[in-house]
Every structure is written in C-alpha cells, then in structure tokens.
Amino acid sequence: MTTRSVVHQRLFACGVLLGVVAEQMVLFAIPLLIFQDTKEVSALGLAYAIEWLPALLAYPFAGLLADRDGGARLFSVVTAGRAVVLGGALIGCLAAPSLLTPILMTAAPLLSLFMAPARMSVEKVVPQLAKGTEVAKMQGLVQSMEVSAMAIGPALALLGLAVIDKTWLLGAAAVIFAAAAACWLPLPRGLRTSSKGGAAQIVVELRLGWTLLVRSRPLVLLASLNFSINLVFAVVLAANAALVTGVFHAPESSFALLNICIGVLGIVNLLVIPFLLRHVNVRILGIFGLALLCSCLLLIGFASSMLLYAPAFVAAMLGVTYFNVFNRTQRIKVLPEEHLGKVMGPFYLLNMMSMPIAGLLLAGSGNNLGPQRLVLVLAVALTAFGALMLPLIIQAFGRAIAAREATLVGATAE
C-alpha cells in the first residue's frame, strides 16, 4: 500500500467519523429539544417519521448520483449542505423560540435528504480504497467509525451543555459537518458512469438498479432481515429519550452517557474487529451479532430500571455493529462495482422504509401500549424471524459469491 493510499484512507475515515459525530450531536439535541418542548412521546414518533420520509425517496437517486460522481465530491457537497441546514435551524430557533418544534421538524427531513447521498458515497468509495480481503477490514473500519462517533458526539454535546444551551449544539454540529466535507475533498473521484441521456437515462438506470436487486436472491433476503432489524431498533432509538428521561426518570446526562458508552465500545472495536476477522469467518460474526442484538432487545423490553436498560442498549448496538460487518461485506461481493450505487440505492430504500414506520408505530401506540412494551413485542417477532432468515441468507450468499468468482475466473482465462 502506497503512502498516498494510506493518506486517502485516513482522510476517508476522518470524514466518516466527523460526519457521524455531527449526526450524533443532532440526534442528541433534537429529540431532547422536541420532547422537552412538547412533553409528548407521540411527538417524538411523529418527528422520527417525518425525518425519514424524504430519505426514502432520495436513496435510489442518491445511488445514481454516487455512480455518476464517483462518491468523493458528492459526499463533500451534501455534507456541507447539512451544515447550512443546521445553521439556518439555529438562527430560526433563536429568533422564534415558540416555533422550535416546527423548525426542527422541518430541518430534520432536510438533513435526512442529504444523508442519503452521503451514505451512498461511502458505499461507493469503500471498494475504491480497498480490494480483496481488505474490503472486510475497511467495512469494519466504517462501522467502528460510526459507532465511535456515538461516544464523541454525545460527549461533545454533554460538554457543550455545561457552557451553552442545547439549541447551540445545532451550530456546533454544523461546524463539524463542514470539517467532514473538507476531509473528502482530496480523495480521488474513482470510477464514474456517463451522465448523458437526461431524464430518460435516469429512468433506465433506476430500472436497472431495481432489476439487479430483485434478481439477486441473497440481496432480497438480506433486505428483508435488515428491514426487520431496523424497524425494531428504530423504535428503540426513537423512544430512547422518552425511556431514559420519562420511563426511568434519569437525568439528561444519563442520556448522553449512554451514547458515550456505546461509542467507547466502538473505539474498542477498532482494534477488536480486525483481530476477529483474522480468526473468525465473517458469517460467524454475523450470527453472533444478530443473536446478541435479539437477546438485548428482549432484555430492553423487560428492563425495570436504567441498571438493566443501559447495558442492554449498549450491547444491542454492539450486536448491530458485528452484524453490519457481515451485512456490508457480503453484499459488495455479489455486485459489480459499476452498478453498486444503482443497486444500493433501492436496497437502502427498502431498509430505511422501517424508519418512518417505526416513528408512526411509536406515535400511534407509544402513549397507549407504552414504548417499552412495543419494543418487547417487536423484539419477540424479530427473534423468530431472524432465526428463520439468517441460515437462508448465509446459504444464498455462499452460492452467489461462488458463482460470481467462477464467472470472473472464466473471464480471466478467456
């Protein structure tokens, strides 16, 4: 590996880390601001649903943009756009405090709209910076950067609360988004596809992406399991502020410390995951991750205090981390690089459909059924579904990867 590639990988990792740090600061500030302004769990659910709806529409188009751009410039542009949105939200909240909730409910969907091309850019750039066996390590790095940010983001937010009002955290997050955008500016553009053809060509490419996805049995199976996991965990994340400060009556600092613990665990994973991948097959990592996640979600549903809820929440995120290393590594192996964005856009759309549904579930049943009991019901269903689907997914990917490798070997021989 050349010195230049090492520098590019470090800039890539820094951009991912800073981008998610800013996201975590926003995820800390906005739910607390809305919950304290409205005192309603249903408001949190509604805000969560509204936030994710634009991303659903954006993901297929974001995949096309990533293919056409190569990924690096697109990430910088949309991440800078998120900084601008947060700057505007901060000005609006300071100028009209009585409109705080509507302002934040407007800013949140704009942020998620920009998040879609940012995520697609990361998917596009990973195989440009890593090849062969290095892909799993790079995906582990991405996952660990994302989880590590869950320590740094809330820690910065908690530190900020000591000297500034929560509203000003929006401005701090905007500055960090701008820094993340700058990190990716030196990265190479990578493989790009032609942008000729206008609207007709866009329709053709969108259709191609959906066709490739639907015809790939392992990706369809994986998308169904990912949707289920995201649905349950999204309910937990959407209700987290209400559970910590409302159900368990813990202070705001506990809400931040909970996420800090998750992030510290992510930093440890930076060292642990590469070691595990040298000794454990990525499939085993996926099985362990899903089993840990389901066990912890069940414990969250039964928890009677923060002493049980907090370690279960942290360990559940660890399970998500391990499963996602398997998830991200396997799906790249069955897709041609030139069509990666086209397919991953619809793939993300199917996965992220769970987010607004989770918000609507929480808004509709959070006050009656209760957020904790809702999590328990969904966790039981996920455990049963995961036990059925994961063996099928592993088998389907094994066959698809073997077939793709055989095709590549045959093409090389010819």
Q: What whole-number percentage of the chain has pLDDT above 70?
A: 88
Question: Given this model, what pLDDT does residue 224 score?
Answer: 93
The average pLDDT across 335-362 equals: 78
- pLDDT tens across 160-196, in order? 777 777 788 889 899 999 999 999 998 887 666 655 5
Kindly tell me if the per-residue pLDDT of 225 is higher than 90.
yes
The region of weakest confidence among 26-35, 40-49, 224-233 is 40-49
Question: Given this model, what pLDDT does residue 410 score?
Answer: 54
Higher pLDDT, 2 or 250: 250
Kindly tell me if the per-residue pLDDT of 412 is higher than 60.
no
Burial of 323 (0-12, 13-18, 19+ CB in 10 A): buried
The region of weakest confidence among 222-226, 263-267, 332-336, 375-379 is 263-267
Q: Are 315 and 296 within 8 A, CB to CB?
A: yes
- pLDDT tens across 248-286, in order? 777 766 766 776 777 677 667 767 777 787 888 888 989
Kindly tell me if the per-residue pLDDT of 74 is higher than 60.
yes
pLDDT band for position 299 (50/70/90)?
very high
Question: Given this model, what pLDDT does residue 191 score?
Answer: 61
Question: Given this model, what pLDDT does residue 196 score?
Answer: 58
Q: Among candidates 178, 216, 193, 167, which has minimal Cα distance to 82? A: 178
pLDDT band for position 407 (50/70/90)?
low
Kindly tell me if the per-residue pLDDT of 413 is higher than 70.
no
Q: What is the rounded average pLDDT for all residues in the chain?
A: 81
The region of weakest confidence among 55-69, 176-190, 293-307 is 55-69
Question: Given this model, what pLDDT does residue 6 score?
Answer: 78
The region of weakest confidence among 91-105, 116-130, 293-307, 382-396 is 116-130
Question: Given this model, what pLDDT does residue 91 score?
Answer: 93
Secondary structure (H, E, C), 187-205: CCCCCCCCCCCHHHHHHHH
Exposure letters 340-371 (e unless 16+ CB within 10 A, then b):
bbbbbbbbbbbbbbbbbbbbebbbebbeeebb
Q: Among candidates 361, 74, 46, 20, which has minimal Cα distance to 195? A: 74
Q: Among candidates 10, 3, 124, which has minimal Cα distance to 67? A: 124
- pLDDT tens across 348-361, in order? 788 878 877 887 78
pLDDT band for position 287 (50/70/90)?
very high
Question: Given this model, what pLDDT does residue 226 score?
Answer: 92
